Structure 1
Amino acid sequence: MRDTVRSTATKGAVSRNPGIDLLRGLAIVLVVFNHLGIRIPLEKSALADVLPTWLLNRLNWNGYEAVYVFFVISGFLIAGNALRRWGSLAAIDPRAFYARRFARIVPCLLALLAVLSVLHLLGVQDYVIHRAGQSLPGALLSALGLHLNWYEGHTGYLPGSWDVLWSLSIEEAFYLGFPLACLLLRWRVLLVPSMVLLALSLPWARAALHGNEIWLEKAYLPGMAAIATGVLGALLADACRPPRRTALLLGWLGALGLGAVILDGWAMWHWLRDGYMLLLTFSTLCLLLCCQWRAEAGGVSPLRGFGWLRSWGRMSYEIYLTHMFVVFAVIRAYRAWGGDTAHGWLWYAPALVSCWLLGAMVERWFSAPCERWLRMRLSGAANCDVVR
């Protein structure tokens, strides 16, 4: 019976989960809104005359929380894919695991670093590394060495297109050790408690970091705690199949919790302090479990009218790495046009469309072909059935 369930799950891996893509799409849109809002705040635009200021403010200031949603999704998907591929995390093949991560992450990362290096050397505004203690070699080494977050914590913020790589440093540092942890802690009775402790450490890890704004946002341990939450979710989704009503209840609880953090994060902070991040990560986990279990039960149709947002989720990595090029270009055009804050909201739509188009071009003509080629070369696997 277990083999039948495993076989069915493996066959289902060839298709994407529309609910998870939708959640990932929402997260990347919030990141783009955040980086636009730093420069063109919606609360200072004419929209404030028709929409509540608090709502406009929350649209602009959820980028950090959105990255943590990404962390949970990443842990859930990558651990889930490993379970479907090898049957258990104790049987994970480190070589194949690293090959797949390398094929997915490295082509776009190297291309981005090459472009940013050229722009820095040409002295293009918004792309020059100029802070004391920072240099192009230092930024390159930190990005490739997966410690750009640590580098910024010690030297200050890098230019925006470099700065987005802080989350990649945390995520890939986690996955460097993940297969080894799975092999060392071979039994779930050891692995699960370790992941639970890591996941629950999030508020205490953040509380211990107050005093350094950059390190508070970008330290390794809080981000890894969010990824561990996703790993726990994948193990839970693999271990049981609850009734449909239970899955729906989890979905509603997750939606309420995530909505509370996104729409009234200040209140959540007032009541829970750093614990509000646990509300964020476990609410995200509830939504992921609901999406997974409902998809496995069959008969779930994607929400109509949200195909555009699911497409953002499918290309979230490409959009995340490239969206700052669009943001800087739009801000320049906005200022050249006069920089009227009242009409600043009008620049959001073309910025979003341009971010999607750039991400789609990178995905279609660069990252997807490179990933397929590298997977075949590195692991000998011609199939690319695992959800990216």
Structure 2
Amino acid sequence: MRNYKIDVLRGISILLVLFHHFNIPYKLHDTFLGVDIFGESLSTLIARNGNYGVTMFFVISGFLITQHTLQRSASLAQINLKDFYIRRIARIVPCLVLLVVVVTILGSFGLKPFLNQAPNDIEVSYGLTVFSAFSFWMNILIIQYGWVNYALGVLWSLSVEEVFYLVFPMLCLLLGRGKGFILFLLAVICYAPYFRALHFAEESGAYLYHYFSSFDGIAIGCLTALMVQRFQLNRKMNQSVILFISLLMIGLYLYAPIKEVSTWGISIFALLSAVLIFCFAQNPQAVAQSKMSKAMLWIGQRSYEMYLFHLIVLGLIKVFYFPKQTLPTEKLILLPVFFIGTFILSWAIEKYYSAPLNLKIRTILIKSERK
């Protein structure tokens, strides 16, 4: 059973990412969203730290993958490797294949957002880019050569997640019976800020995109799933904690550009996200009531498709509306067009492609799914 509050958090995360990516080419500071607040435009305050949305995705992903493993097995040490990898393949690969196919087709028409570029004056072949996408090192390609392919660049975070989950089942088997798994997670959580400090503010973006820059969010999510099994909060305290943590997250989000506080900011934001998830997990049977929560739930449930395909929509917009020549009023029209276009495309992909394929692959290859 899905926890609707966690899906709402996913919805918030993807909206932050979408707004962040839209504001990169179409700066909104010259629109009414550019109203000055404490010396900074509102649009900049909202958009500049969209990468925190990815941090939340990492924490949610780590939490859910661990929780689902615990629900399907008596313990982490009894994880079924074959079934685990099949479920990952069924969820990840269909959309990944479709994304690469769509980008390849659009690139064949010579549309610049879908062609490989050389941001650091080093040519990278499209074949190597696609290979990095399917072998989960797009993040390393970006660190070394820059954002070589606009539409495929989002796969940097998928690379981080999937490398972690390639080793996750083996860690469960080797360390899941005692405290070894927890100690491993704590070591990852402690090492990440140190790694980000080593690469602080580098133009390569290693402080954001590298595996060791991001693994702490996933590890914190895994640890949270283990804690949910052992600890509980009473309802009154739970609500108070949610409000307090939400305010802290908003404060950190607005405090400074992520580049300036990456050493500790990403870890703190991940920890705060984990506390929220811990609170949400106290009442997993809760049902969305308000129209707003239902809308955010709908968005959150399709956040994976939105994340992978939103740059397709934005890239096509850039083909027809060159950012430097776009007027402020046009930007305000394009913003909802971008969001609505992403929602419709992601809904169609989820309904008619990724969800059916996910179910079919699992039904064919996993015995327990055939019931």
TM-score by length of 1: 0.88
In 2, Cα distance between equivalents of 1:337 and 1:165: 26
Give the Cα–Cα distance (whole angstroms) in 2 for the partners of residues 50 and 130 of structure 1. 35
1:237 aligned to 2:228? yes
Q: Which among 42, 64, 81 is matched to residue 51 of structure 2?
A: 64
321-330 vs 164-173, which deviates more? 321-330
Quick one: which of 7, 20, 25 aligns to 1:39? 25
Tell me: CA distance 1:194–1:159, structure 2 relative to 1, closer, same or farther (3 Å).
Answer: same
Pick the aligned partner of 2:149 from 133, 154, 159: 159
Superposed structure 1 runs of 4+ greater than 6 Å apart: none
Residue in 2 that maps onto 1:30: 16
C-alpha RMSD over aligned residues: 2.3
Deviation at 1:212, TM superposition (A): 4.4
Distance 1:89 1:249, change over 3 A: farther
Query: Which residue does the alignment assign to 2:250?
Result: 259
Distance change >3 Å, CA 215–CA 299, structure 1 → 2: closer
Q: Is the 8 A contact 2:144 2:204 kept in 1?
A: no
Equivalent of residue 135 in structure 1, options 125, 138, 149:
125
Distance 1:28 1:336 in 2: 22
Q: 1:363 to 1:299 in 2, by over 3 A?
A: closer
Alignment partner of 1:179 is 2:169: yes
1:252-300 CA-partner distances (Å, limit 9, x unpaired): 232122111222234x887x662121220011001101111022xx556
Residue pairs, 1:332-347, within 5 angstroms: 332-335=319-322, 339-347=326-334
Q: 1:307-322 counterparts in 2 under 5 A?
A: 307-322=294-309
Instruction: Name the CA shift for 1:282/1:303 in 2 (closer, same or farther; >3 Å).
Output: farther
Deviates more, 1:230-239 or 1:203-212: 203-212
Q: Deviations over 1:1-39 (max 9, x none)?
A: xxxxxxxxxxxx3xx211111110011011111111001
Cα distance in 1 for residues equivalent to 2:59 and 2:139: 18
Distance 1:285 1:148 in 2: 26
Would the aligned equivalents of 1:247 and 1:294 in 2 still touch at CA under 8 Å? Answer: no
CA offset digits 1:70-115 (Å, max 9, x no partner): 0000001111111111122111111110010000000110111122
Distance (Å, rounded) in 2 between the aligned partners of 1:186 and 1:273: 31
The residue aligned with 1:363 is: 350
Structure 1 range deviating more: 227-236 or 80-89? 80-89
Please say which of residues 97-106 and 304-313 is displaced more in the overlay. 304-313
- The equivalent residue for 1:90 is 77
CA separation in 2, counterparts of 1:352 and 1:130? 26
Instruction: Tell me the CA shift for residue 336 of structure 1.
Output: 9.3
Read off the aligned partner of 1:330 and give its amino acid letter. I
* 1:276 has 2:265 as partner: yes
- Cα separation, 1, equivalents of 2:143 and 2:288: 44
Structure 2 CA distance for partners of 1:246 and 1:87, relative to 1, 3 Å:
farther
Structure 2: tracts of 5 or more residues without a match: none
Q: Report how far residue 159 of structure 1 moved.
A: 2.2
Shift of residue 50, structure 1, vs aligned partner: 8.0
Note if contact 1:47-1:345 (Cα within 8 Å) is conserved in structure 2: no
Matched position secondary structure for 2:124 = coil
Q: How does 1:170-249 map onto structure 2 within 5 Å? A: 170-210=160-200, 211-249=202-240
Alpha-carbon distance change, 192 to 323 in structure 1, aligned in 2, over 3 angstroms: same
Structure-2-length-normalised TM-score: 0.92
Worse overlay, 369-378 or 197-206: 197-206
Is the 2:34–2:43 contact (alpha carbons within 8 Å) kept by the matching residues of 1? yes
**Shift in CA distance, 114/304, structure 1 to aligned 2, threshold 3 Å:** closer
For 2:180, give the aligned amino acid.
L
CA distance in 1, matches of 2:19, 2:156: 18
